């Protein structure tokens, strides 16, 4: 890369000398860039990205697993250097916008332009200022502590409390105190938006929202319409689920805590952000004579974090995929260390684009973490599958694909799967009359999540586009969540609150549209896999555990990485080129029919604004 810049500088100097040597001829125009130059630029960029990316990954790992002043300093420096490099490469890629070239080179140049989460402008100091803000936001979130009942709690401990706490006053206290930790972020977030929007404009995008939405092989406006279409397929189901759950909460807590009509109090849903409601399945049912408690089973067996992770690995190896490398087990963080602050939010890591795969979690032994382990390992197996692709193609077909693979694996964790891996006995296998209970547990997580994900992004898109101003950050947050989710906060929110920052993906600037898309795609992958395996029973009972033919076809899609537009990858495994919520509808249809019967005569709406 340095030699290319040096050559360009030399041409400029020589051109200036020639112009001064004579006044009889006008200076010649700079030669137009060529396809050969574009190819050379891409090759140099990939080498630089590979080297810098490995350095950044190791720096980020140390920061995330050992948070202190010094690792924050290192993280800021690495972020700033990486942002400056990617801004420079993105700007360089724009030079070739009008050059005819092979499709592969054009795709790599487009990916270079979209390689930043928060693009800093090119002016001196901008990347460093942005890195300081992002590190400060991340540390505020990850080191947050609150006191409840005279004891100090970390977030992962608070989440465990909310799973089983049923005293509404205590629930409101936990919720309110956690959201208060984000208040200091309110001072930093507007500046972050200002800098990142400036960077997006320099790259040719009107704002950061359009920049993010351009990363899906279609124009931003078309992608927004696609999201609306997919939500429209599942919105009727969510309305029925909301109506039923609200009735059950009203029966449990009474009108003074949860009215029988209108929105639901967000903290009563068993999750700090009301994004998944499965933790209140004991309240909402439906009851079944023959069901099982996976958390209790795991705990009764004294399952360790390592053993739980090994169970997840065995799902993938049963499909014919290779075991994880020894270094995975040596270097992963599976439990919260006793002696330091760490980022507990579960994540999967590929530190060298080869074989240094890891997950970072603070595993609790329960059904939720059983699912999460399957999910995170899906990232690792995707990362390993595309490791032989060029650097710029080492990614998911789009970010929703990456999230969907592990969730597809977790959908296979059916009662039949648990019997096959020895977690349940055949005699414990739930009969058909338990299906609504099993489907309800899934719907409380999968369906309830969809409008939360939309709310997250609708709020950020509005902020990035200037439609939501800093003075209205918090009020707009709750207006949007009421409109899409039908939820409200349990307490009056103070004027200086910044409740969005109490969610990891806001504080750490992680796009959330990927998770919405993943909810759709995982069911498409699942139905396609079950069809390939010849499954003939109810879709929600299917497992492809042990089917190496499905594994081979799945891995063929994973190996494509980001080398082709996502419809090509989708078609390779499912046979269709369009994301489609109909697989999700098929999966939950028995429960939908049951919910409509339960809700007959009820007013299943809430005031949306």
The pLDDT of 149-168, averaged and rounded, is 90
- Is the pLDDT confidence value at 6 over 60? no
Taking only the tens place, the pLDDT of each residue in 555-595 is 999 999 999 999 999 999 999 999 999 999 999 999 999 99
What is the distance between the alpha carbons of residues 68 and 398, in angstroms, rounded to a whole number? 34
Please identify every residue annotated as catalytic: 376, 505
Helix axes 566-574, 513-532, angle to 10 degrees: 30
Taking only the tens place, the pLDDT of each residue in 187-218 is 999 999 999 999 999 988 999 999 999 999 99
Asked if residues 285 and 441 have their Cβ atoms less than 8 Å apart, the reply is no
Q: Where would I find the H helices in 277-344?
A: 281-284, 294-300, 305-318, 326-331
Tell me how far CA of residue 388 lies from CA of 105, 125, 142, 355, 403, in angstroms.
Answer: 17, 36, 34, 11, 20
What is the distance between the alpha carbons of residues 577 and 573, in angstroms, rounded to a whole number? 10
213, two tokens: 């939405």
Give me the residue spans of the domains in the chain. Answer: 2-135
The pLDDT of 130-140, averaged and rounded, is 93
For the whole model, what pTM was predicted?
0.86
The pLDDT of 269-297, averaged and rounded, is 87
Q: What is the per-residue pLDDT for 32?
A: 86
What is the distance between the alpha carbons of residues 323 and 318, in angstroms, rounded to a whole number? 10
Taking only the tens place, the pLDDT of each residue in 484-542 is 999 999 999 998 999 999 999 999 999 999 999 999 999 999 999 999 999 998 999 99
**If phi over 0 gives left and psi between -120 and 50 gives alpha, with beta otherwise, what is residue 285?**
left
């Amino acid at each position: 890369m340095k030699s290319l810049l040096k050559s360009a500088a030399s041409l400029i100097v020589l051109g200036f000398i020639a112009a001064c040597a004579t006044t009889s001829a006008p200076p010649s125009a700079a030669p137009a860039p060529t396809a050969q130059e574009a190819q050379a630029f891409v090759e140099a960029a990939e080498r630089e990205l590979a080297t810098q990316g490995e350095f950044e990954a190791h720096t980020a790992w140390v920061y995330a697993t050992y948070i202190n002043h010094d690792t924050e300093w290192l993280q800021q420096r690495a972020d700033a250097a990486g942002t400056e490099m990617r801004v420079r490469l993105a700007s360089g890629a724009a030079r070739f916008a009008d050059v005819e070239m092979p499709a592969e080179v054009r795709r790599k140049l487009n990916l270079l332009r979209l390689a930043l989460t928060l693009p800093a402008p090119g002016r001196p100091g901008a990347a460093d200022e942005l890195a300081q803000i992002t590190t400060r936001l991340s540390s505020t979130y990850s080191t947050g502590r609150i006191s409840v009942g005279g004891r100090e709690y970390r977030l992962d401990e608070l989440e465990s409390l909310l799973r089983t706490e049923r005293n509404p006053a205590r629930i409101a206290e936990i919720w309110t105190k956690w959201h208060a930790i984000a208040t200091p972020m309110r001072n930093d977030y507007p500046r972050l938006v200002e800098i990142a929007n400036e960077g997006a404009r320099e790259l040719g995008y009107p704002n950061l929202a359009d920049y993010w939405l351009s990363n899906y092989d279609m124009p931003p406006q078309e992608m927004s319409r696609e999201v609306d279409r997919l939500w429209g397929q599942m919105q009727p189901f969510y309305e029925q689920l909301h109506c039923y759950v609200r009735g059950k909460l009203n029966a449990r807590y009474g009108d003074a805590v949860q009215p029988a009509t209108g929105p639901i109090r967000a903290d009563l849903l068993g999750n700090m952000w009301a994004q998944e409601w499965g933790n209140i399945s004991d309240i909402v049912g439906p009851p079944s004579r023959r069901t099982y408690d996976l958390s209790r089973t795991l705990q009764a067996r004294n399952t360790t974090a390592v053993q739980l992770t090994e169970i997840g690995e065995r799902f993938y190896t049963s499909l014919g995929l290779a075991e994880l490398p020894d270094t995975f087990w040596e270097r992963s963080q599976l439990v919260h260390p006793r002696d330091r602050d760490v980022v507990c939010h579960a994540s999967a890591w590929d530190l060298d684009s080869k074989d240094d795969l890891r997950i970072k979690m603070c595993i609790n032994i329960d059904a939720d973490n059983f699912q999460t382990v399957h999910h995170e390992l899906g990232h690792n197996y995707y990362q390993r599958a595309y490791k032989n692709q060029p650097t710029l193609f080492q990614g998911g077909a789009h970010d929703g694909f990456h999230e969907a693979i592990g969730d597809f694996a977790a959908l296979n964790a059916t009662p039949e799967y648990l019997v096959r891996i020895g977690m349940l006995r055949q005699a414990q296998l739930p009969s058909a009359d338990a299906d609504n209970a099993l489907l309800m547990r899934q719907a409380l997580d999968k369906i309830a999540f969809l409008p939360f994900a939309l709310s997250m992004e609708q709020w950020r898109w509005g902020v990035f586009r200037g439609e939501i101003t800093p003075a209205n950050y918090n009020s707009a947050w709750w207006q949007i969540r009421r409109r899409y989710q039908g939820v409200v906060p349990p307490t009056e929110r103070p004027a200086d609150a910044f409740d969005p920052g109490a969610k990891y993906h806001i504080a750490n600037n992680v796009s959330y549209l990927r998770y919405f898309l993943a909810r759709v795609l995982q069911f498409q992958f699942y139905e396609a896999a079950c069809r390939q395996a010849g499954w003939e029973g109810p879709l929600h009972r299917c497992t492809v555990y042990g089917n190496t033919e499905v594994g081979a076809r799945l891995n063929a899609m994973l190996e494509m990485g980001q080398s082709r537009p996502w419809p090509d990858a989708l078609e390779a495994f499912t046979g269709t080129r369009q994301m489609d919520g109909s697989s999700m509808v098929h999966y939950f249809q028995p429960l939908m029919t049951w919910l409509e019967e339960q809700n007959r005569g009820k007013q299943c709406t809430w005031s949306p604004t």
